[in-house]
Amino acid sequence: MNKIILILGAVFSTLMITSCVKDLDVTPKDPSIILSGNLNDDPIYMKEVLGKIYASFLLPGQGGSESYNKEDIAASDPNFTTTMRALWNCQELTTDEAICAWGDPGIADFNTQAWSATNPFLTALYSRLVLSVTYANDFIKNTDGSSNADVIKYNAEARFLRALAYYYAMDLFANPPFTTEADGVGKFYPKQLDPDSKTGRTKLFYYITSQLRSIENKLGAPKFSYPRADQAACWMLLARAYLNAQVFTGTAKWDSCKMYCDKVISSGKYSLATNYRQNFSADNDATKNPEMIFSWATDGVYTQGYVGTTFIIESCSDGTHIDAHNLGLTSNTNWGGNRTKKQFLNVLVDTLATYGNVPVPWATDTIFAQCKDKRVFCKRLDHWDIPSPSSSFSFGIGVYKFTANNADGSKAADYNPAYASTDYPIFRYADALLMRAEAVLRSGGDVSIAVADVKTIRDRAFGTAPHANITAAQLQANNYQFILDERGREFYFEGQRRTDLVRFGQFSDGTYKWAWKGGVIGGAATDKHLNIFPIPGDEVSANPNIKQNPGY
């Protein structure tokens, strides 16, 4: 199965990153591991090394999450420092969608939007993204110029993965260090594209989009070999970049966003899964699920560790209110960390009146059995309100959207009682529909297209319920607020919320407030500089070519 080959083939040497990323020496920990210089010794090495680049977004290193001293970046707990977990924390804990009860350094800062340049999750994520770029650069350098059809695809996939890493770095940090295959690997101080954060971010945006356009026709056709990146994954990343172009560059690119959404939709290869829950179940990969376009593939046998969807399931369970054992992970301990807030519940449940800021009849219906929206996988905990950022898991609203079982409740073929086989979604077909709807609305295009796209999403969510119907006036009202809310209902806990709130001007200085935003129980506006995270302080201190983002 391609998932297994891609994720865990033999891989090249690991990078040793300590206090800063200026030292890009490749130093093998084991001389039997394939080195990039040996890449062309055997054609099979190319696909196996490519697998390492894919895995760099999910796994901590060579030996999986439980093999300490084999991680690519040294850490007291290698699970915490993976791209997936750090990215999820940045995108969810900083918003209305999630709050974590744990006392680990850095988490409380995210809960209250009070982070600094020393936040360990920011340092880890920054280093991980640089690591993925460096892996991709070396692979691209060693495969450029090949006339072999397979190698041309491998090279294009590496360029896609580099663009994906740069996209996250641009979104989160605005102006990261910039290197390509032309720079080589060795000791040097990487530079930003421009020391000015706005100009550097703009230049990086145009680099990313130009790279993606250049590989569009070199990648495999949609669904050619899941979970490898194909043309549809490329189109989705382009669409997402153009969706946020006004944030990244100051200039909107709505027509370009729509164009690439159109390519995905008109390919005829994708449709919504009949059952929304399948997108978050062990049978969510594209060989079984028509909606999945690109994911970080996981497997209970071959990608074991407390990362990916295993992390989400366990961190959202406490064994009392929500039990991971009922979600297919029967040998773990229910960590009791992440849940959502009352304010986001009022977004998620959009069809009923409210009473005392609590949707009726949820005061008594604690499992939301009367909710018409089939996307609501939540449970009221002991208390609606969260009296402090570090309150125990029993305060708030539990979320059990992800499961390690198949959508029908059966066990996965590669079932493991400790580690989920559920892929972590990056691009779903539903996102192509909602991105296109927003782009059409904002560009003044044919509103009937937006209405039809949103109705398609809501038809699955509500079935025959009248709540599925939507009008152009509803979509256009209040700066397209319905689109933001619908994205929240569709993509909650999938690591998109922060980016969406920033685009709609509601993340920091906007009028929207939620519990503990700004460190206040009722929420408070925060400074706009928080829309971008700081470059890690260690990097700024060690690298004279790096300028800190404004406000830090």
Condensed to tens digits (0 to 9), the pLDDT of residues 236-280 reads 999 999 999 999 999 999 999 999 999 999 999 999 999 999 999
SS3 assignment for 356-383: CCEECCCCCCCCCCCCCCCCCCEEECCE
Contact of 79 with 72, CB cutoff 8 Å: no
Condensed to tens digits (0 to 9), the pLDDT of residues 441-485 reads 999 999 999 999 999 999 999 987 788 889 999 999 999 999 999
Query: What whole-number distance in Å separates Cα of residue 221 and Cα of residue 350?
Result: 38
All residues at 6 or more sequence positions from 411 whose CB lies less than 8 Å from its CB, including other chains? 282, 328, 405
Query: Phi first, then psi: what are they for 427, rounded to 5°?
Result: -130, 125
- Mean pLDDT of all residues in the chain? 88
Number of H helices, E strands in the chain: 17, 10
In Å, how far from its chain's centre is CA 362?
30
142 has a pLDDT exceeding 50: yes
Please report, rounded to a whole number, the percentage of residues in the chain having pLDDT higher than 70.
88
pLDDT at 468: 82
Condensed to tens digits (0 to 9), the pLDDT of residues 24-45 reads 232 333 333 444 555 555 566 7
For residue 138, list its beta bridge partners: none
For residue 187, list its beta bridge partners: 23
Q: Considering the entire predicted model, what is its pTM? A: 0.92
Confidence of residue 62 (pLDDT cuts 50, 70, 90): low
pLDDT at 7: 33
pLDDT, mean of residues 310-318: 97
- Torsion sign over Cα 423, 290, 485, 266: positive
Condensed to tens digits (0 to 9), the pLDDT of residues 207-225 reads 999 999 999 999 999 999 9
303 has a pLDDT exceeding 90: no
Name which of 171, 206, 207, 242 is nearest 532 in CA terms.
171
CB burial of residue 56 (10 Å; 0-12, 13-18, 19+): buried
Of 211-215, 358-362, 392-396, 405-409, least confident by mean pLDDT is 358-362
- C-alpha distances out from residue 425 to 143, 200, 270, 422, Å: 28, 29, 15, 9
Confidence of residue 546 (pLDDT cuts 50, 70, 90): very high
Q: Which residue type sits at 428?
A: R
Q: Which residue type sits at 447?
A: V
Contact of 411 with 405, CB cutoff 8 Å: yes
Query: What whole-number distance in Å separates Cα of residue 550 and Cα of residue 198?
Result: 10
Q: Which residue has the higher pLDDT, 162 or 66?
A: 162
